[in-house]
């Protein structure tokens, strides 16, 4: 019934849509609708700040479908200023809730956020953020790391960090500074970082160190926000984890973007996820917020063929594409690129054009299969509203060990031998599959947003710093990594002692 109303109303615009809805008994209530989230707190500095708006009807029931893309109007202004340099977007999650996100290009004394529907304020709007409200580029660290963790509502403890650091009862900066370059320095792409007095220093080892830009960027962003403990550590810029020694003696702490069952590297959020957080509403278009506004049709209307696109970076991917050619009604898997293996078109079909990531969500079943290491698309797949079928794998990102098979995703064997069976299960148990999709999405919404990334890094470095036996040093050959200084709008950090103005 409802969908018929929706279709009849759509071409006529959202005002009529609202009328249809109220006829159906759910009228948007400005007072009962809800607003919450970190973007309403001045002290939560993020590249893109965000908060949520949940539509609630006059009866107090939450909307579970969109009340219309333009149901809410948001205005963000700096009351003291003539212009407010803020970019803002309202993202319709199509489930009755919205993400409002904004990127500030200058720091303001205060910020006023108004959320309205048809000229009526929603919930407790207007919200006044008493500042200073710093923008991402403002170099103004909170001096007390514990106070920062509290302001950010970071979790007390993060299990993966404890698991990773448990291999290292102590870290001797003198020792690792010598031994890690000797062990790995020639063959691998490594960065040796020291953070001292909240300044970042680096020495690179190996030839291919282009990916250091991601690590530099997050470290600079962190030190702008919070005074980091003094640290000395090594980051592996390559795909594969490095520390594979079996004996617990003499293993070295190496920070990597990917962990594995057979190594002892310390995992961090991937460069991909990190970059997408830093560049949200900037250089990148795929991030954990944009996906939420592009999750395709509702579950019932999604195509029940399983979908996969990617490159040929692992032999099981070849298997998957072969399978797809054998069972095209069940799996639509194709390569967008051939690089690692010899391309035999008779076996693997033609190379197909990329499809937009958002188009994946036209399909119910998302296949997640390793590339060279873990497939870094998993966070984005989870936060859509399709169900993820995940290959069992030795590789993991920083959050995989908190995911539960059958709760957040449907597992299948590493060699794909039960994939068809699992897809059949999903078709036979549509309601369960839908619930798994929902739980996966909920997990991603609650654990993989930008603020969670910052919490992870700071907790990780804080815990690691406690293991250091002596003072980190700025070593011979290190260079300082400078904060970007091209910022158009200065930030007037109130935390720094103002130099005497003569």
CB 204 within 8 A of CB 212: yes
- Of the candidates 305, 313, 366, 441, which one interacts with ligand NAG according to CB under 6 A? 305
Of 113, 93, 99, 48, the residue nearest 454 (C-alpha): 48
Asked if 303 touches ligand NAG (CB under 6 A), the answer is yes
Name, in order, each residue with C-beta under 8 angstroms of 436's C-beta and a sequence gap of 6 or more: 387, 406, 407, 408, 409, 410
Which is closer to ligand NAG, CB of 43 or CB of 265? 265
Quick note: the x/- pattern for ligand NAG over 103-122, rule CB under 6 A, is: --------------------
Which parts of 197-251 are beta strand (E)? Answer: 199-205, 231-236
Which is closer to ligand NAG, CB of 149 or CB of 333? 333
Asked if 468 touches ligand NAG (CB under 6 A), the answer is no
# of chain residues touching ligand NAG (CB under 6 A): 8
Which is closer to ligand NAG, CB of 285 or CB of 303? 303
Rounded to the nearest whole angstrom, what is the least distance from the CB of residue 269 to ligand NAG in the complex? 19
Rounded to the nearest whole angstrom, what is the least distance from the CB of residue 264 to ligand NAG in the complex? 13
Asked if 301 touches ligand NAG (CB under 6 A), the answer is no
Asked if 391 touches ligand NAG (CB under 6 A), the answer is no
Rounded to the nearest whole angstrom, what is the least distance from the CB of residue 414 to ligand NAG in the complex? 5
Which is closer to ligand NAG, CB of 263 or CB of 305? 305
Distance, CA of 405 to CA of 287 (rounded, Å)? 24
Q: Which helix (H) or strand (E) holds 320?
A: helix 315-326
Quick note: the x/- pattern for ligand NAG over 333-372, rule CB under 6 A, is: ----------------------------------------
> Could you say which DSSP state residue 9 is in?
H
Asked if 393 touches ligand NAG (CB under 6 A), the answer is yes
Going by their DSSP bridges, the two strands 331-337 and 266-267 should be labelled as unpaired
Which residues is 128 bridged to in the sheet?
112
Which span (89-97, 342-350, 387-395, 486-494) binds ligand NAG, by CB under 6 A?
Answer: 387-395
What SS3 class is residue 287?
Answer: coil
Which span (46-54, 389-397, 424-432, 434-442) binds ligand NAG, by CB under 6 A?
Answer: 389-397
Which is closer to ligand NAG, CB of 151 or CB of 332? 332
Asked if 394 touches ligand NAG (CB under 6 A), the answer is yes
Distance, CA of 99 to CA of 114 (rounded, Å)? 14
Distance, CA of 28 to CA of 386 (rounded, Å)? 28
Of 211, 281, 198, the residue nearest 483 (C-alpha): 198
What SS3 class is residue 254?
Answer: coil
Q: What does the block give as tokens for 145?
A: 């790391």
Asked if 164 touches ligand NAG (CB under 6 A), the answer is no
Rounded to the nearest whole angstrom, what is the least distance from the CB of residue 363 to ligand NAG in the complex? 7
Which is closer to ligand NAG, CB of 92 or CB of 397? 397
Cα 267–Cα 282–Cα 113 angle in degrees, nearest 5: 105
Name, in order, each residue with C-beta under 8 angstroms of 128's C-beta and a sequence gap of 6 or more: 110, 111, 112, 113
Which parts of 57-189 are beta strand (E)? Answer: 73-77, 86-92, 97-104, 108-117, 120-121, 127-133
Find tokens 């993202």 and name the residue.
Answer: 91
Which span (112-120, 234-242, 386-394, 487-495) binds ligand NAG, by CB under 6 A?
Answer: 386-394
Rounded to the nearest whole angstrom, what is the least distance from the CB of residue 377 to ligand NAG in the complex? 18
Asked if 392 touches ligand NAG (CB under 6 A), the answer is yes
Which is closer to ligand NAG, CB of 392 or CB of 421? 392
| Contact residues for ligand NAG, defined by CB under 6 A | 261, 303, 305, 332, 392-394, 414
């Amino acid at each position: 019934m409802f969908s018929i109303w929706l279709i009849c109303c759509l071409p006529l615009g959202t005002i009529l849509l609202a009328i249809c809805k109220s006829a159906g008994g759910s009228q948007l209530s400005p007072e009962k609708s809800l607003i919450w989230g970190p973007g309403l707190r001045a002290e939560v500095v993020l590249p893109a700040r965000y908060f949520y708006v949940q539509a609630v009807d006059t009866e107090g029931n939450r909307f579970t479908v969109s009340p219309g893309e333009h149901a809410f109007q948001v205005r963000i202004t700096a009351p003291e200023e003539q212009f407010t340099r803020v970019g803002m977007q309202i993202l319709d999650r199509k489930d009755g809730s919205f993400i409002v996100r904004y990127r500030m290009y200058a720091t303001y004394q205060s910020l006023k956020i108004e959320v309205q529907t048809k000229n009526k304020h929603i919930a407790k709007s207007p919200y006044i953020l008493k500042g200073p409200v710093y923008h991402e580029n403002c170099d103004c660290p909170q001096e007390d790391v514990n106070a920062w963790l509290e302001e950010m509502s970071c979790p007390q403890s993060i299990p993966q960090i404890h698991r990773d650091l448990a291999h290292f009862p102590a870290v001797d900066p003198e020792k690792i500074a010598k031994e890690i370059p000797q062990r790995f320095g020639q063959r691998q792409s490594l960065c040796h970082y020291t953070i001292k007095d909240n300044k970042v220093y680096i020495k690179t080892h190996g030839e291919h160190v282009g990916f250091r830009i991601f690590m530099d960027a997050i470290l600079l962003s962190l030190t702008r926000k919070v005074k980091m403990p003094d640290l000395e550590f090594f980051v592996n810029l390559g795909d594969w984890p490095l520390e594979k020694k079996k004996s617990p003696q003499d293993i070295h702490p190496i920070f990597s973007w990917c962990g594995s069952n057979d190594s002892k590297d310390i995992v961090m959020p991937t460069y991909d996820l990190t970059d997408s957080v830093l560049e949200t509403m900037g250089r990148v278009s795929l991030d954990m917020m944009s996906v939420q506004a592009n999750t395709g049709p509702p579950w019932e209307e999604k195509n029940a063929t399983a979908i996969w696109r990617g490159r040929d970076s692992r032999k099981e991917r070849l298997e998957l594409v072969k399978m797809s050619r054998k069972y095209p009604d069940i799996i639509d898997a194709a390569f967008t690129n051939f690089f690692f293996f010899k391309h035999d078109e008779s076996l693997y079909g033609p190379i197909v054009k990329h499809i937009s990531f958002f188009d994946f969500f036209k399909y119910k079943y998302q296949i997640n299969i390793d590339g060279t290491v873990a497939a870094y698309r998993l966070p984005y797949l989870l936060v859509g509203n399709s169900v993820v079928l995940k290959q069992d794998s030795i590789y993991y990102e920083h959050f995989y060990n908190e995911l539960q098979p059958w709760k957040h995703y449907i597992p299948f064997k590493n060699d794909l031998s039960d994939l068809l069976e699992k897809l059949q299960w999903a078709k036979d148990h549509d309601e369960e599959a839908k619930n798994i999709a929902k739980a996966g999405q909920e997990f991603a919404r609650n654990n993989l947003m930008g603020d969670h990334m910052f919490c992870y890094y700071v907790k990780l470095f804080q815990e690691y710093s406690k293991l250091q036996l002596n003072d980190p040093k700025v070593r011979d050959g290190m260079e300082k990594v400078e904060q970007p200084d091209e910022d158009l709008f200065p930030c007037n950090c109130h935390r720094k002692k103002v130099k005497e103005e003569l």
